[in-house]
Structure 1
Amino acid sequence: MSGLPAQTAVLIVGAGPTGLTLGISLRQRGVGCIIIDKLPAALPWSRALGLHARTLEIFDALGVLDAISARSLVQKAVHVYGERGPLFQLDLTVLDAPHPQVLSCPQAEVEACLEDRFTALGGMLVRDCELLDFTQDDTGVQARLAWAAGEHTLRASIMVGCDGASSRVRHVLGISFDGVRYADHFLLADVDIDWPLARDASHGFLLAEGALIALPMPHGWRLIMNQTEDDDLQPVPDLASFRQRLSQCLDEPPMLGEPRWLSRFSIHRRLAGRYRRNRVLLAGDACHIQSPLGAQGMNTGIGDAFNLGWKLALFLRGIGGGALLDSYEQERRPVARQMLNAVDVLSRSSFARAAPLRGMRDTLLRLVGRQQGFGARLLRRASQLDVHYRQSPMVGEGSGMALLRRPPGPLPGDRVPDAPLTPAASGMPGRVHDLLRQARYQLLIQVPDAPEHAAVLTLFALATRLPQDFGELLDVQVIAAGKWPPVLNELRSYPMTLWCDRDGGFRRRFGEGGHLWLMRPDGHLAYRAPLDDADELVGWLTDHFRRRSNAPSASHGSV
Structure 2
Amino acid sequence: MLPETTEVVIIGAGPTGLTLSIALHQAGVDHVLVERLAEGLNTSRAGVVHAQTLETLEPLGVAGRLVELGLKLDNFAIRDRGRTLLNLDFSDLPSVHPYVLMIPQNLTEKVLAERIGKLGGVVHRGVEAKMVTQDADGAQVTVVQNGREQTISARYVVGGDGMRSVVREAAGIGFDGEAYDGVFMLADVRLDWPLGPTEVSLLFSPAGLVVVAPLPDGSYRVVATMDEAPEKPGIADIQALLDSRGPIGSRVRVLDLTWSSRFRVHHRIAKSYREERLFVMGDAAHVHSPAGGQGMNTGLIDAVVLGELLGDVINGVRPESELDLYETLRRPAAQEVIELAGRLTGMALTRTPLRRFLRNLVLGFVNLNPIAKRRIALKLSGLSRAKMARLPAPSQPGVRKQVMKSEFKLVA
TM-score with structure 1 length normalisation? 0.68
Task: Please say if residues 50 and 102 of structure 1, whose CA atoms lie closer than 8 Å, have aligned partners that are also in contact.
Answer: yes
Task: Please say if residues 194 and 252 of structure 2, whose CA atoms lie closer than 8 Å, have aligned partners that are also in contact.
Answer: no
**Deviation digits for residues 331-383 of structure 1 (CA, Å, limit 9, x no counterpart):** 11111112111211111101221222211111111110011232222111221
Q: Which of 457, 467, 472 lines up with 2:399 in the alignment?
A: 472
Q: Which consecutive unaligned segments of at least 5 residues does structure 2 have?
A: 403-412
Tell me the SS of whatever aligns to 1:10. Answer: strand
Task: Please say if residues 193 and 254 of structure 1, whose CA atoms lie closer than 8 Å, have aligned partners that are also in contact.
Answer: yes
Matching residue of 1:80: 78
Larger radius of gyration: 1
1:138 deviation in Å? Answer: 2.0
CA distance in 2, matches of 1:50, 1:83: 22
Q: Which of 238, 263, 266 lines up with 1:265 in the alignment?
A: 263
Aligned: 1:289 with 2:216: no
CA distance in 2, matches of 1:147, 1:473: 36
Alignment of 1:455-466 (within 5 A): none
Of Structure 1 and Structure 2, the greater helix share is in 2
Alignment of 1:191-230 (within 5 A): 191-219=189-217, 220-228=219-227
Give, as a single letter, the amino acid of the residue that structure 2 aligns with 1:241: D
1:290 deviation in Å? Answer: 0.6
Matching residue of 2:410: none
Matching residue of 1:13: 11
Matching residue of 1:71: 69
Task: Please say if residues 4 and 153 of structure 2, whose CA atoms lie closer than 8 Å, have aligned partners that are also in contact.
Answer: yes
Matching residue of 1:39: 37
CA distance in 2, matches of 1:247, 1:471: 60
CA distance in 2, matches of 1:83, 1:20: 39
Q: Which of 140, 155, 162 lines up with 1:142 in the alignment?
A: 140
Matching residue of 1:407: none
Aligned: 1:317 with 2:315: yes
Task: Please say if residues 8 and 155 of structure 1, whose CA atoms lie closer than 8 Å, have aligned partners that are also in contact.
Answer: yes
1:69 deviation in Å? Answer: 1.2
Matching residue of 1:116: 114
Matching residue of 1:516: none
Matching residue of 1:502: none
**Deviation digits for residues 244-272 of structure 1 (CA, Å, limit 9, x no counterpart):** 23223343433313311111111110001
Instruction: Tell me: CA distance 1:195–1:389, structure 2 relative to 1, closer, same or farther (3 Å).
Output: closer
1:281 deviation in Å? Answer: 0.6
Tell me the SS of whatever aligns to 2:157. Answer: strand
**Deviation digits for residues 48-88 of structure 1 (CA, Å, limit 9, x no counterpart):** 11111111112221101221112101111012221562211
Alignment of 1:141-160 (within 5 A): 141-160=139-158
CA distance in 2, matches of 1:244, 1:34: 47
**Deviation digits for residues 3-33 of structure 1 (CA, Å, limit 9, x no counterpart):** 3221111110011111111111111111111
**Deviation digits for residues 410-430 of structure 1 (CA, Å, limit 9, x no counterpart):** xxxxxxxxxxxxxxxxxxxxx
Instruction: Tell me: CA distance 1:149–1:366, structure 2 relative to 1, closer, same or farther (3 Å).
Output: same
Q: CA RMSD in A?
A: 2.0
Q: Which consecutive unaligned segments of at least 5 residues does structure 1 have?
A: 396-440, 443-465, 476-559
Task: Please say if residues 128 and 143 of structure 2, whose CA atoms lie closer than 8 Å, have aligned partners that are also in contact.
Answer: yes
Q: Which of 231, 238, 241 lines up with 2:237 in the alignment?
A: 241
Instruction: Tell me: CA distance 1:234–1:65, structure 2 relative to 1, closer, same or farther (3 Å).
Output: closer
Instruction: Tell me: CA distance 1:269–1:11, structure 2 relative to 1, closer, same or farther (3 Å).
Output: same
Task: Please say if residues 52 and 386 of structure 2, whose CA atoms lie closer than 8 Å, have aligned partners that are also in contact.
Answer: no
Instruction: Tell me: CA distance 1:210–1:286, structure 2 relative to 1, closer, same or farther (3 Å).
Output: same
CA distance in 2, matches of 1:208, 1:96: 36
1:327 deviation in Å? Answer: 1.4
Task: Please say if residues 74 and 98 of structure 2, whose CA atoms lie closer than 8 Å, have aligned partners that are also in contact.
Answer: no
1:318 deviation in Å? Answer: 3.5
Give, as a single letter, the amino acid of the residue that structure 1 aligns with 2:239: R
1:388 deviation in Å? Answer: 5.4
CA distance in 1, matches of 2:190, 2:397: 56
Instruction: Tell me: CA distance 1:384–1:149, structure 2 relative to 1, closer, same or farther (3 Å).
Output: same
Matching residue of 1:299: 297
Give, as a single letter, the amino acid of the residue that structure 2 aligns with 1:33: H
Matching residue of 2:379: 381
1:319 deviation in Å? Answer: 4.0
Q: Which of 121, 129, 132 lines up with 1:131 in the alignment?
A: 129
Give, as a single letter, the amino acid of the residue that structure 1 aligns with 2:224: M
Task: Please say if residues 243 and 253 of structure 1, whose CA atoms lie closer than 8 Å, have aligned partners that are also in contact.
Answer: no
Task: Please say if residues 77 and 202 of structure 2, whose CA atoms lie closer than 8 Å, have aligned partners that are also in contact.
Answer: yes
Matching residue of 2:93: 95
Task: Please say if residues 145 and 151 of structure 1, whose CA atoms lie closer than 8 Å, have aligned partners that are also in contact.
Answer: yes
- Percent same amino acid at aligned positions? 34
Task: Please say if residues 44 and 108 of structure 1, whose CA atoms lie closer than 8 Å, have aligned partners that are also in contact.
Answer: yes
CA distance in 2, matches of 1:24, 1:365: 41
CA distance in 2, matches of 1:84, 1:256: 18
Tell me the SS of whatever aligns to 1:258. Answer: strand
Task: Choose 293-302 or 115-124, whichever is displaced more.
Answer: 115-124
Give, as a single letter, the amino acid of the residue that structure 2 aligns with 1:473: R
CA distance in 2, matches of 1:474, 1:36: 29
Give, as a single letter, the amino acid of the residue that structure 2 aligns with 1:227: M
Q: Which one has more relative contact order, counting CA pairs under 8 Å at least 6 apart?
A: 2
Tell me the SS of whatever aligns to 2:168. Answer: helix
Give, as a single letter, the amino acid of the residue that structure 2 aligns with 1:226: T
Give, as a single letter, the amino acid of the residue that structure 1 aligns with 2:240: Q
Aligned residues, how many? 398
Give, as a single letter, the amino acid of the residue that structure 2 aligns with 1:273: K
Tell me the SS of whatever aligns to 1:346. Answer: helix
1:99 deviation in Å? Answer: 1.6
Task: Please say if residues 204 and 212 of structure 1, whose CA atoms lie closer than 8 Å, have aligned partners that are also in contact.
Answer: yes
CA distance in 2, matches of 1:70, 1:361: 38
CA distance in 1, matches of 2:397, 2:147: 47
Tell me the SS of whatever aligns to 1:471. Answer: helix
Give, as a single letter, the amino acid of the residue that structure 2 aligns with 1:194: D
**Deviation digits for residues 434-473 of structure 1 (CA, Å, limit 9, x no counterpart):** xxxxxxx69xxxxxxxxxxxxxxxxxxxxxxx9xx86323
Task: Please say if residues 190 and 222 of structure 1, whose CA atoms lie closer than 8 Å, have aligned partners that are also in contact.
Answer: yes
1:234 deviation in Å? Answer: 3.8
Task: Please say if residues 173 and 270 of structure 2, whose CA atoms lie closer than 8 Å, have aligned partners that are also in contact.
Answer: yes
1:185 deviation in Å? Answer: 1.6
Give, as a single letter, the amino acid of the residue that structure 1 aligns with 2:4: A
TM-score with structure 2 length normalisation? 0.91
Instruction: Tell me: CA distance 1:361–1:383, structure 2 relative to 1, closer, same or farther (3 Å).
Output: same
Instruction: Tell me: CA distance 1:474–1:121, structure 2 relative to 1, closer, same or farther (3 Å).
Output: closer
